[in-house]
Amino acid sequence: MQALLDELPVILQAFWLTIRLTLASAVLALVFGTILAAMRVSPLPVLRGIGTVYVNTLRNTPLTLVIVFCGLGLGLVLDVSFSTSLSTNYLWLSIIGLSAYTAAFVCEALRAGINTVPVGQAEAARAIGLTFFQNLRLIVLPQALRTVIAPLGSILIALTKNTTIAAAIGVGEASLTMKTLFESHGDAVVPIFLGFAFGFLILTLPTGLLFTWLSRRLAVIR
């Protein structure tokens, strides 16, 4: 227990990194996932094909492999660089991996949402002369987004837990910090584990509650 209190600043810093990883990846994944969803429902078979291949590839690849590819492949071999600081660079590389992976799931969620929008909505939009993009942007996506708030919440919770995998390329978020603390406090493994478990509960439980509330609040009443 004492170890947990002594290391509290380190632990809080680790969780702050976890939160930043989650938020940055979530924003990028939402943007990229929306673009992918638009591609998958677009009139161009080529774009639909590219979207399908991307989603199926990323969803069937282990996230660890994606992140290792980003960190070692892009970072070390191809010298992709976002910052002169090595740790910031790996942070961004892991954010790229996390958001590229999560975008595939966001895309599928949005597509499921698009399927729930009644046909009449899109038909009416076409009838008043809206183009594909206007139709998607003004009529279909706003309704689709509101029906998939709850699934997007599940994706965000999964993303929060998935940020631990950034440990594979040495990003010092919560799980890697926990491992380091295990090594330095061999006699306090249980309290440290419970502390980190509690930290993840604090991050994921309110997210779940918030998104459940939001999904009720924003539900499209039909």
Identify residues 190-209 at the interface with another protein (CB under 8 A): 190, 193, 196-197, 200-201, 204-205
Q: Least distance (Å) from another protein to the CB of residue 85?
A: 22
**189 lies in the binding site for another protein (CB under 8 A):** yes
Of 24, 98, 168, 171, the one binding another protein (CB under 8 A) is: 168
Q: Binding to another protein (CB under 8 A): which residues in 32-91?
A: 41, 43-47, 50, 52, 55-57, 60-65, 68-69, 72-73, 76-79
Among 5, 19, 33, smallest CA distance to 99 is for 33
Q: How many residues belong to the site for another protein (CB under 8 A)?
A: 75
Helix axes 45-59, 8-40, angle to 10 degrees: 150
Under the binding rule (CB under 8 A), the answer on residue 165 touching another protein is yes
| The one among 23, 82, 161, 214 contacting another protein by CB under 8 A | 161
Q: Which is nearer to another protein, 5 or 198 (CB)?
A: 198
Binding segment (CB under 8 A) for another protein, from list 2-10, 23-31, 81-89, 149-157 = 149-157
Chosen residue from 25, 99, 102, 164 binding another protein by CB under 8 A: 164
Residue 171 sits in the site that holds another protein (CB under 8 A)? no
Binding to another protein (CB under 8 A) within 108-127 occurs at 108-109, 111-116, 119, 122-123, 126
Tell the smallest beta-carbon distance from residue 45 to another protein (Å): 7
